[in-house]
Each structure stands twice: as C-alpha cells, then as structure tokens.
Amino acid sequence: MDKLARLAISEEGFIFDPVSGNSFTTNKTGLFNLKALKEGKGEEEIVQALTEKYETTKEGAEKDVTDFIEQLRYYRLI
Amino acid sequence: MKKVCVAVSGINAVDNPGPGIGVIRSLKEDSVLEIEAIGLAYDAMEPGIYMDWLVDRVFILPYPSGDKEGFLNRLLYVKKAANIDIVIPTLDAEMPVYIKAADYLQSMGIKTFLPTKSQFELRGKTKLTEVANKIDLKIPETRIVTSYEDLVKALNDIGLPVMVKGLYYKAYRAYTYQEATGYFNKIVAEWGYPVIIQQVVSGEEMNVIGVGDGTGGSLGLVAIKKLWITSLGKIWTGVTVKNEALLNAASNFVKEFKWRGAFELECIVSKDDIYLIEINPRFPAWVYFATGVGINLPARLLKAALGLPVEGKNEYSAGKLYVRYTYDIVTDMSIFQSIVTKGEC
Amino acid sequence: MKESYEKPVILKLQMGLMNKFGASYLKRTRTEIDGVPVNKLIEEFGSPLFVFSEKRLRRKYKEIYNAFATRYPNVQFSWSYKTNYLNAICAILQQEGEIAEGVSEFEYEKARRLGIEGRDIIFNGPYKPSHILEKAIREQAIINIDHFEEIYDLEEIADKLGQKVKVGIRLNMDTGITPQWSRFGFNLETGQALDAVKRIAYSKKLILNGLHCHIGTFILEPRAYAQEVEKMVKFAYQIEDEFGFKIEYLDIGGGFPSQNRLKGIYLPPELAVPSIEEFAEAICDTLLRSLRPNDFPELILETGRVIVDEAGYLISTVHAAKRLPDGTKAYVIDAGVNLLFTSFWYKFNIELDREVQGVFEPCVIYGPLCMNIDVIDEHTQLPPLPRGTRLIISPVGAYNVTQWMQFISYRPFVVLINSEGKIEVIREAETLEDVVRKEKLPARLKLVQ
C-alpha cells in the first residue's frame, strides 16, 4: 500500500501521483474505496463498509470493488 | 458603460492556436468597452484557462460533435452561472451549432453575430468557384475525388505537386503519387469523402480579415502577408500590406454576399492574379494583429452585435510587423483540478 | 438513511481527452417506447427485441407526404421494399397511400402476396429475369428499364403477348455530388440514355411513358435533387418533342437521409441533415419552374429510409462487462452486426433503460458473435453499466430487418406498438426448426442413435 500512501487525494475526487506525475479523477464511492485501502482495510471490510453506507447489495459491491482494484492495478497505483 | 460579459471559445493558445485569446485581448484593449471574458474550453489543457490576466472565468463545453441539445443546455448553464451577454465562437467545428441555434440563443438572452447558414456554406471548397467568380478572383485548378481512380486521374490532369485537402479541414502538400495517396487515405479515414485535389499556385500568401455588418457594409478590413510559418503552417511572423486588388475583393465579398460577422479570406497573389484558396467564417488566430494596427475587429463585431456605434476608421499602415513569441506560466494544480472535477473555474 | 450508490470508478487523465463531458452532456434514458415500458416488452418477448412504432411511422409518412403534396399537385410515394419488407410495415404504408417498389422477384412476389395489385408495383433493378418480367407485365406493373439487354427482353415479351408494353427507363447523371451512381440505368451526359430512347422508338414495341433516377443514398445536399429534377424534365421534353412519347411520370427515387449519425461525419444529425422541407422545396420549386404550363407529370418518390428508420428500435441487454488490456471498458450485449447490419455505417443513438449513476468512461460495445468484426460502437461514453442494463438502440428501422442474417443464432421477435399503444407481434422469433427446415441430411450420413 506504499504507492497509495504517496497519492495526494482531494475531497473533490482529484488524485495526483507525485512519483509518476499522473493525475486521476474518481467518484464518491471510488474516493471511499481509496481511503479505505489507504487505511489498510481488506476487500471484505470495504464491501461491508460500502453496503453500510450506500444503497447497494453485498454481491453488487463485491463485483465493483474487484473491478475497482483491477483498475488501480492497471494504473499501477497498488 | 455597463460591463459586458462575453464568452469566447478557442482559448487553446497552442502550436496550432485557436483565435480566442487574440479576440479576448482585443476586446479588453478597447477604450469604450468594459469586458468580463468567459473562456469556453474543450480540454483542461487549453492554455487560455491558465491566463487569468485575460480570461476571467472558464467553462468546459461538451464537444460540438455530440448532441445539439446537450451542447445548448451546457451553454444555458454558463449563461446562468456567469450571466453572459454574448458568445463569440471562433472554431470551425462549432460554427454549425451556433449558426443553427442563433435565434434560440437570442431568445435565451445570449447574443451572437454570425454568418447565416447559406453564407457559412460558401466556405465549402466545392463552392469556392462560385464565390471567386462573383468577386473576380481566380481559383487554382481543383478536382473533387471520391476514389483512388479519381485521385490518380486528378494527379495526372493537374500534375505534381498538389494540395490534398478535406472538404472543411486539413490540407497537405504532396510532391509524389505516394505522398498524395497517403494524405488522401489519411483525410478519408478522419473526415470521410470527398477529398479535394488542388493545383499548387506559387506566389505571395496573403490573407484578409474583416467583419461584415450583414447588410453589405464592411466594419473594417486588414490585409497581411505571412512572412514565416511554423511546420503546421501557422503564421509566426507577418507584415501588413495594402494590396488594393485584394482589399477590393474582400470588400466585394462582403457586399456581394451581405456577409455577417467575422471572416478571413486566404489568397495567393501571383503577379496580377489573385487566387482564392479558402474562406474561414470566423476570426483567424492572428486577429490581434489587426487590433495592433488600429482596427479592433473583435471590438467592432461586439459593438455591432450590441447595437452600439462602430468607429468608421479603416486606415492602417502597411509595413507593420507581427511577431509571435512563446511564454511560460508556472502555476499550481488548483485550476486544473477544478476544471477536471467541476468543469469550470 | 443510506446514500445513493454508484459504481466506484477511477480514471486517468489523458492528454487531449480532458473534457469532463466528452460528447455526452445529457444523460440518455428511455424507460418506454410509445408508452409501453421497456421492461414489459422484454419480459414478454425476451431480449434482443425489435420494436416498431406505428405512430411514428404514420406521422413521419404524413409529414414527408405533406411536404411534397403541398408544393406539387401530383405526388405519389412508392414504398421501397428493400428498406423494410415486413408485411405489417408495408401494409401500414399501403394504408397511408403508398404503392410498392421492388427490385427483385422476391420483393415483387412478396408485394403481390400481401395483396398489392401489379399496377401498384414499380419494378426496378438491374436483374429482372424474363419469367418474372413477363408476369409483371401481364399484371401491368410499372417497369423501369436498367440496361439495353432488358429492352430486348421486353420487346420479346411484347411480341409474345402481342401488345405494346409501357415502360420507363432509369437514368444516371451528374448532379454535382459524389459518388455518382453510374452503375444503374442509362447515362444521360454521354448520350446513352438518348440511344435507349431511340432504340425504344425505333422498334415500336414499347411505349416510353416514364423516367426514373436514383442519385444515391443518404444525400445531404438538397441542390443535388434540384439538378436531378431539372435534367429529368429537360430530357422528358426532348423525348416528347423528338419522339412523340408522353412522359407521364418522373420517378426521382429516394436517398433522403434519416436522423442517423453517419460514421465519418463530425456533426450530429440535427446539424448535418437538412430538413425534409428543404428537400421538398428544392425538388418542387425546380419542377414547377422547369415544367411547361399545365403539365404536371406524376412525381414519384421511392423514399424508404427517412420514413421508417426512426420508427424502429432495438432493445438489447448487457450480458457482460470487461476491461480490455489497454484499460478500455468493454460491454458484451446480446445483439450484434447479425441484427444491426447498418452499424457498419451508422453510429447509433444508445439510450439506457434506467438512470445509471457514475462517471462516464470511454467504452466499446461488442455484439455476442464470436467474431472480431462484431462491434456495435467502437467508442462511446457510458456510465458503469450493471449486467442486465437494457440498451435501446435507434434509429434501426431501415435496412436491418431486411439485411440481418441468421448467423449462429436465431433472429428475435419483431413487435409493433400500434396507434392505441397495444403490442402486436409482426414477426415471431426464429426457432431451430425454422432454421433447419430446408436442410436435407442424406440417409447415409445419419448419426446412429
């Protein structure tokens, strides 16, 4: 999670990676996931937290978190 | 005087610059007008967004290739958010939507000063002959091609080198069949058929810009010659000229077609002949050149749109030099961040 | 109270693509077609599903008919079967007052089977075998000749029947647009058309009473039609004055564009496509200006696409979402180029059956075929779509339900929402039996049970 820790993340969903120089945008649930990952939470915990805060099912959240992490991996952010 | 809020597009002051920054700078230098300038951008990287000494606020618009309703809704949002009085579009691709929606925008309290649809259509390269004939200009030998066979035939007829052009955008000079075929394919892939093959005429490249009042009168004309162009064909240095034949042709153009709004005629002067190469239904990126020699065309257009008196002075000196230069801005990411997340700043 | 959810997305900002809105500032949702919920349609008939709106079809026909009929006193529309020859569609347009236009034996027979009289069928096209040509002549169909061989065929049939046969000839010409359709009919500028007229006059077996032309497809330039009409009228009078025939109709073909987005055209159709009024004005003004006093030959229009395209929708369903190695989002839907042949040249309007929250991201939409060419949209912007989202694709009313193919799957139901808002099936979904019915398996190849 070192890579995540170095990111500058704004409340508006703007992300800057000072090492690669890349910028990203994310939405509110993406921001939620990023913060949770930064805090070191695991996938299951995040899914649980998502379903508590948002109107979504466990199955839906699971799929989405997997895809989100896949995106982070693709962007080499984790 | 009451402050006028003007939205201007084309603030992409890059190596292939849009005219927006030149327009805004001109407006702000007018001695009568008090201007608040709203930049309309299509990308967070358009340098005008960061030029806060000229551009007061910026809004991102959806691309004009998307649906018309979405585009206009966004403009109405800008109207509501920034209370714009008038919009001056400066990019080719957005002219059709503004021209079509001019009455609607007017009814929503956004003024424009644009050519009519039929005037706008004159810029089509297939219509150039009609225009040139009416205002006594020549045009280079031209073929409209839609197949490889047509292309080869056109190359045989005209002879190399040739200009290979899209109907509205892109123009390349080709010296060989291979080059011509390459450009032909490139244009077809990007813009579709037809492709225009044109004889290369040698001579002095001269351009005239002006504003027509819509009833046949001209609100000012300035002619220049390009001295140095970039590899993209953009003017880098230029000089004002007073070629009477060229200026007369431009003023006939305005009179004959009752042109309304800004325009640029691109010509090649070869001995006594003047060839019409292109009509642009908007200001060119070097529009500030005219302002610099005392003919502030953007301000005149704005005054005409607002129904204010327009100064009649049409004299400028030949031999004034135009020099472009590059400049650097260093800023932090806050503006960028706001543009990418909120679409405005 | 929980907050509304949207799928978490992170997007890298890329040079040249930093526009928050892209091309889609509007959220496009469609929950119903003519008042019938999309969900109800799919529950009943499955996905994918072609849906036609009778209301839109009739309204569009009337709008276009009126544009011409209010400008010229003698107008007849002729339904272009190849655009959409579903019986129900043809019957609706027949009710509205159209006659039929076919370009093959199949289309001719299909129109006859539906109950259209031969004299109300225009028979066009470059391939009219003698037996069907003879049948069409016996039934007094309107024949437009495509080439010299057809003149000889017709003369033979005239001899056989012992009667003079009325015919029209198809012309092709330069109308200032490209590409110029020169493969059909006789060329005007080279004198070929005049040669055809001479031949017809010389043999005295045929009576030339009409001119036909069709200058191209998806034409965005009203002036091209004005040129077409002007040249046709001029040629008609030349024929009348020099050969004594009376040209009773001018069939100017079709080719008017619909509100579809042609690939390769930058501007959206609302801006790129002229209104039908502009076409009607260019055509009728030129006619009235060119015709002699009190001469009003029948103006026939074979308009297909512009009438039916926007009456057709295809509802399809997101089957899977995946991420490509380059990071692009991809969706697999249950309808591909097998059903949407026109996707090769159109970029369709794609609407969603529900409001989907989330950031729009660039994506590609694939059909279900196991083939690389099966792409419905190479590049569009959509919010993250959950599996099962319905995509309502339009306009698809023209050319798809005729050019579709039965390739590795069954063709789906086609339903009509009638003017009262009721659903009527106008073509049932195919079954395995439908597909294999014509096959014969030699006994020696039968698999042992």
Mutual angle of helices A43-53 and A58-74, in 10-degree steps: 130
- Identify the three-state secondary structure at position B210: strand
Longest Cα–Cα distance of chain A, Å, equals 36
Identify any residues that bridge with B260 across adjacent strands, giving them in sequence order: B213
Q: What confidence tens digit (pLDDT) does each residue in C215-263 have?
A: 988 888 898 999 999 999 999 999 999 999 999 999 999 999 988 888 7
pLDDT band at C185 (very low <50, low <70, confident <90, very high): very high
Dump strand ranges (E) for C148-189: 165-172, 186-187
Cα separation, C269 vs C352, in Å, equals 20
Asked if the C-beta of B91 comes within 8 angstroms of chain A's C-beta atoms, the answer is no
Name the nearest CA neighbour of C344 among C268, C403, C390: C403
Give the pLDDT of residue C326.
80
Work out the minimum CA distance from C21 to partner chain B, whole angstroms: 5
Q: Look up residue B328 and give its two tokens.
A: 């650097």
Partner-chain contact C19 B93, CB within 8 Å: no
- Compare all CA atoms of chain A with the CA of B339 and give the residue at the minimum distance: A14
Give the pLDDT of residue C389.
95
Cα separation, B191 vs B183, in Å, equals 12
**Radius of gyration in angstroms for the set of CA atoms belonging to chain A, rounded to a whole number:** 12
Q: How are strands ordered across the β-sheet holding C10-12?
A: A8-9, A14-16, A23-26, C10-12
Work out the minimum CA distance from C379 to partner chain A, whole angstroms: 19
Q: Which residues of C touch A74 (CB under 8 A)?
A: 323, 327
Partner-chain contact A26 C11, CB within 8 Å: yes
Dump strand ranges (E) for C124-172: 142-145, 165-172
- CA dihedral (B153, B154, B155, B159) in degrees, to 10, reads 120
Q: Which residues of A touch C327 (CB under 8 A)?
A: 71, 74-75
Q: Are C269 and C259 in contact (CB under 8 A)?
A: yes
Asked if the C-beta of B63 comes within 8 angstroms of chain C's C-beta atoms, the answer is yes
Picking from C3, C10, C386, the nearest residue to A75 by CB comes out as C10
Cα separation, C181 vs C185, in Å, equals 9
Q: Which residues of B touch A13 (CB under 8 A)?
A: 341
Cα separation, B170 vs B191, in Å, equals 9
Chains near A, with 3+ CB pairs < 8 A? Answer: B, C
Domain edges within chain C: 32-51+310-432, 124-303
- Identify the three-state secondary structure at position C35: coil
Q: Which residues of C touch A56 (CB under 8 A)?
A: 5
Give the pLDDT of residue C23.
61
Partner-chain contact A53 C2, CB within 8 Å: yes
Asked if the C-beta of B340 comes within 8 angstroms of chain A's C-beta atoms, the answer is yes
User: In the block, which residue shows the tokens 């159109």?
Assistant: C346
Q: What confidence tens digit (pLDDT) does each residue in C16-53 have?
A: 667 777 766 666 889 999 999 999 999 999 999 999 99
- Do you know the residue count of chain A? 78
Give the pLDDT of residue C263.
79
Asked if the C-beta of C205 comes within 8 angstroms of chain A's C-beta atoms, the answer is no
Q: Which residues contact B105 (CB under 8 A, 6 or more apart)?
A: B72, B75, B87, B98, B111, B112
Q: Which residues contact C49 (CB under 8 A, 6 or more apart)?
A: C41, C42, C314, C315, C412, C413, C414, C415
Cα separation, B95 vs A14, in Å, equals 33
Q: How are strands ordered across the β-sheet holding B142-145?
A: B142-145, B195-199, B162-166, B171-174
Averaged pLDDT for residues C397-403? 97
Partner-chain contact B342 A23, CB within 8 Å: no
Give the pLDDT of residue C384.
86
Write down all domains in chain B, each with its CATH number in brackets: 3-112+328-342 (3.40.50.20), 120-136+202-323 (3.30.470.20), 142-199 (3.30.1490.20)
Give the pLDDT of residue C260.
84
Helices vs strands, H then E, count in chain B: 11, 14
One-letter amino acid of C314? L
Asked if the C-beta of B191 comes within 8 angstroms of chain C's C-beta atoms, the answer is yes
Q: Look up residue C337 and give its two tokens.
A: 């180029």
Partner-chain contact B340 C18, CB within 8 Å: yes
Averaged pLDDT for residues C2-6? 85
Work out the minimum CA distance from C281 to partner chain A, whole angstroms: 51
Asked if the C-beta of C355 comes within 8 angstroms of chain A's C-beta atoms, the answer is no
Name the nearest CA neighbour of C144 among C177, C113, C173, C121: C121
The neighbour count for residue C420, using CB atoms within 10 Å, is 10
Identify any residues that bridge with C301 across adjacent strands, giving them in sequence order: C77
Give the pLDDT of residue C16.
67
Partner-chain contact A27 C327, CB within 8 Å: no
One-letter amino acid of C107? E
Residue to test with chain A: of C1, C2, C11, C359, most A Cβ within 10 A: C11
Averaged pLDDT for residues B120-142? 89
ipTM over 0.90: yes
Residue to test with chain A: of C1, C5, C331, most A Cβ within 10 A: C5
First-to-last C-alpha distance (Å) of chain B: 26
Give the pLDDT of residue C27.
66
Partner-chain contact A27 C12, CB within 8 Å: no
3-state SS track over C249-278: EEECCCCCCCCCEECCCCCCHHHHCCCHHH
DSSP designation for C241: H
Q: Which residues contact C449 (CB under 8 A, 6 or more apart)?
A: none
Partner-chain contact B341 A23, CB within 8 Å: no
Q: Above 90 in pLDDT, residue C3?
A: no
Assign a CATH topology to domain C32-51+310-432.
Answer: Lyase, Ornithine Decarboxylase; Chain A, domain 1 (2.40.37)
- Compare all CA atoms of chain B with the CA of C25 and give the residue at the minimum distance: B70
- Per the omega criterion (within 30 degrees of 0), is the bond before B47 cis? no
Averaged pLDDT for residues B238-263? 96
Partner-chain contact B191 C264, CB within 8 Å: yes
Percent of chain B surpassing pLDDT 90: 78
Q: Look up residue C184 and give its two tokens.
A: 């059909």
Cα separation, A15 vs A8, in Å, equals 6
Q: Above 80 in pLDDT, residue C265?
A: no
Percent of chain B surpassing pLDDT 70: 100
Cα separation, B325 vs B327, in Å, equals 7
Picking from C3, C7, C386, the nearest residue to A53 by CB comes out as C3
Percent of chain C surpassing pLDDT 90: 79
Helices vs strands, H then E, count in chain A: 4, 3
Dump strand ranges (E) for chain B: 3-9, 34-41, 57-60, 86-88, 142-145, 162-166, 171-174, 195-199, 204-213, 218-229, 235-241, 260-270, 273-280, 321-323
Give the pLDDT of residue B147.
81
* Cβ–Cβ pairs < 8 A, chains A and C: 72
- Identify the three-state secondary structure at position C105: helix
Domain C124-303 class? alpha beta
Mutual angle of helices C105-114 and C130-138, in 10-degree steps: 30
Name the nearest CA neighbour of B151 among B112, B176, B177, B115: B177
Torsion sign across C-alpha atoms C428, C432, C433, C438: positive
Q: Above 70 in pLDDT, residue B145?
A: yes
Q: Which residues of A touch B43 (CB under 8 A)?
A: none
Q: Which residues of A touch B340 (CB under 8 A)?
A: 14, 23, 25
Asked if the C-beta of B335 comes within 8 angstroms of chain C's C-beta atoms, the answer is no
Q: Look up residue A48 and give its two tokens.
A: 């649980």
Partner-chain contact B191 C267, CB within 8 Å: no
Partner-chain contact B43 C16, CB within 8 Å: yes
More confident of the two residues C8 and B10 = B10
Picking from C3, C12, C321, the nearest residue to A24 by CB comes out as C12
Asked if the C-beta of B45 comes within 8 angstroms of chain A's C-beta atoms, the answer is no
One-letter amino acid of B180? A
Q: Which residues of B touch A16 (CB under 8 A)?
A: 333
Q: Above 80 in pLDDT, residue C358?
A: no
Q: Are B39 and B22 in contact (CB under 8 A)?
A: no
Residues 380-419 in C contacting A (C-alpha not used; CB under 8 Å)? 384, 386
Name the nearest CA neighbour of C209 among C174, C236, C182: C236
Domain edges within chain A: 2-74
Give the pLDDT of residue B128.
87
Residue to test with chain B: of C12, C15, C21, C223, most B Cβ within 10 A: C21
Q: What confidence tens digit (pLDDT) does each residue in A1-57 have?
A: 578 888 989 988 899 998 889 999 898 899 999 999 999 999 999 999 999 999 999
Averaged pLDDT for residues C79-84? 98
Give the pLDDT of residue B93.
87
Give the pLDDT of residue C19.
79
Partner-chain contact B66 C270, CB within 8 Å: no
Residue to test with chain C: of B16, B59, B63, B144, most C Cβ within 10 A: B63
